[in-house]
Amino acid sequence: MATSQIEVESRVTELATQAFKAFCDDISGMFGVDMECEQQAVAAETVAGLQKRFNKLVAVNIVDSEDLLGGTFRFIFDQEGLFTLGGIIVMLPEERIMSNRQNVSTELAESMVDAVGEVGNLLVGSWNRVFSEGDSRTAPTGHNHFSHRLPAFVGRPWDKSEETIGLAGDEEVYFIPYEMTVDSCPAFNCGVIFPKTIFGESSDFVPEQTTIVGQATQEETQENNQDMQPATEKTDSEESNEEPNIESATGGISETIQKMAQSSAVLPGESGRSTVAKDAAFSGTGDLFKIRANDIMQNKVTWASPDDSLQQALAKMQQTDAGYIMIGQNGVLEGIVSHSDITKAMSPYLQPIFAKWRRPLDDATLKIRIKWIMSRPVRTIKPETSLAASMEYMSQFRRRCLPVTDEAGNVHGLVTAFDIFKALLKSSSNTPAEDQTAEALVESAAAAGTT
C-alpha cells in the first residue's frame, strides 16, 4: 500500500478519535453527565468478525461522506450503548437507564429508534466540526461534509446485513472501536466502520501504521508574515486544531475586495513600493490605502469564557449588540465566534414559529460550550496594519472579522468587512472612481449577506 494511503488512514483515525471525544464533551455539556471514551486497537474486520463483537441488539447510524473521503460509513453501538445513549437523549433517570439495559425487549429497542437517530445527528455534527477544523495540509479531505441517513437501524442486522445496514456478508472493513462510559453506568462498546474501498480500491490495511489515541504527533507551524499571527493557544487540545473552521465570521469575501487585494500593496515584512490596482475601476484609490486598522476598528469588544454556554454567550452579544465575541480568559484570545455561528449551533425549533415541535433536546443545545464551536487560531492584525493589508488578509484567509492586537497580544478592537465598506463610503466623495468602487463593494456585501 502506498505511503500516502497509510497516512490517510492514520489521519482519519486521529480525526475520528477527536470527533468521538468532542461528541462526548457535547453530550456532557448538553445533558449534565460525565461522558468519556477511549479508542481501542484498530482492526481489519469482516462482517462476520463484527457479528462476534456485537452479538446482541445494536444501533447503527449510516453516514454519507462527500469530497475525497467519498463513500458511506457507519457508527455502531452495542446493546448497552443503545439503551444508555437513547435514555440520555430522552432524559431518563439513571435508574431507568440501568433497568432498560438489564430488561431488554424488542419493543423497548424499537421505541429507541428516534432517540438513536438524534444520537447520530449529534455525532455527525461533531464529525463535521472536527473534520472541517482539520488542517487542510494534513487532513485527508481538506473539508468533508457528512450527512446522516434516517431512520437509524435498531435490531440484529447480521443475517441480512446488506439489506439492513448496507454491508455485504463477505465485505472487508476498517474498524475503529471505542469504549464509552457515562457517569457510573458500566462501560459499553461502539465504533466506526469504514469499508476498505473508502480509502481507495487498492487499500491494504496495515494496523501498525494507524494512529492510536495518545500517540498522535502535533505539527508546529510558523507564520512567515510577522504582522499577521494566530492568537496564542493555551491548551494542547487547542493546538491540535491548527486551522480554524471556515466559520460565519469567515464567510465569502466579495469579488471586489479580492480584486483590490490583488493590487501590489506591500505587506509588512515585504520590500517594494505600494501601488494601486491597475483596474480602471480602482484608479484614484491610493489615498484610501493610507488608512490604518486603528482608524476604522471597533473599540468595544465583547468577551466570553471558553466554558460559557451558547445561551450565555448569546446573552452577552445581545446586551452589547455585538456581531462577534472574543473567547478567552484573562485577556488571552483563544478563539472567536460570530452571531451566526451560535444560531447555527442552536436547534431551529427554539424559534417561536416552531414552538409546538420543541423538545427537551432542542433546549439542550443551549448548553453547548462555546469553545466547541469557536474558530481557532484567530487571525489578527496590528493597529498600524493598512487598509490594503487588511483586505488582503480577509481575502487570503476568508475572514470577515480581524481582531486588532498589539505586540503583547492584547486585543484593542476588531475590524470587520463592513468597517472597511464604511471607510470606503466615507471617502467615496473624493473621486468618481472611488465612488464606483464603494458602490460596487456595498452591492457585493448586500449579495453576500451579513454574519
> What is the per-residue pLDDT across 1-44, written as a single tens digit (0 to 9) for each?
444 667 888 889 999 999 999 999 989 888 889 999 999 999 99
Q: Given this model, what pLDDT does residue 44 score?
A: 93
Q: Which three cell numbers stand for residue 360?
A: 427537551
- pLDDT (tens digit per residue) in 105-164: 989 999 999 999 999 999 998 898 888 776 444 444 445 588 999 999 999 999 999 999
- pLDDT (tens digit per residue) in 54-69: 999 999 999 998 765 6
Q: What is the CA radius of gyration of the chain?
A: 25
Partners of 71 in beta bridges: 65
CA distance 18 to 397: 24
* C-alpha distance from residue 269 to each of 215, 224, 261, 266, 389 (Å): 37, 9, 17, 8, 12
Q: Given this model, what pLDDT does residue 266 score?
A: 40
CA distance 137 to 125: 22
CB atoms within 10 A of CB 126: 21
Identify whether the C-beta of residue 298 lies closer than 8 Å to the C-beta of residue 255.
Answer: no
Q: Which three cell numbers stand for residue 333?
A: 484570545
Q: Which three cell numbers stand for residue 192?
A: 466506526
CA proximity to 262, closest of 362, 396, 95 = 396
Handedness of CA 307, 310, 311, 316 (dihedral sign): positive
The whole-angstrom distance between residue 52's C-alpha and the CA centroid of its chain comes to 35
CB atoms within 10 A of CB 259: 17
- pLDDT (tens digit per residue) in 203-258: 444 443 333 333 333 443 344 444 445 554 444 444 444 443 334 454 444 444 44
CA proximity to 232, closest of 392, 22, 395, 407 = 407
- pLDDT (tens digit per residue) in 307-348: 999 999 999 999 999 999 999 998 899 999 999 889 888 888
Domains of the chain: residue spans and CATH: 3-209 (3.40.1550.10), 236-448 (3.10.580.10)
Identify whether the C-beta of residue 227 lies closer than 8 Å to the C-beta of residue 389.
Answer: yes
CA distance 196 to 148: 20
- pLDDT (tens digit per residue) in 395-450: 888 888 999 999 889 999 999 999 998 888 887 655 555 455 555 554 444 444 44
- pLDDT (tens digit per residue) in 360-388: 888 888 888 898 888 888 889 999 999 88
CA distance 376 to 8: 23
CA proximity to 235, closest of 346, 136, 124, 376 = 376
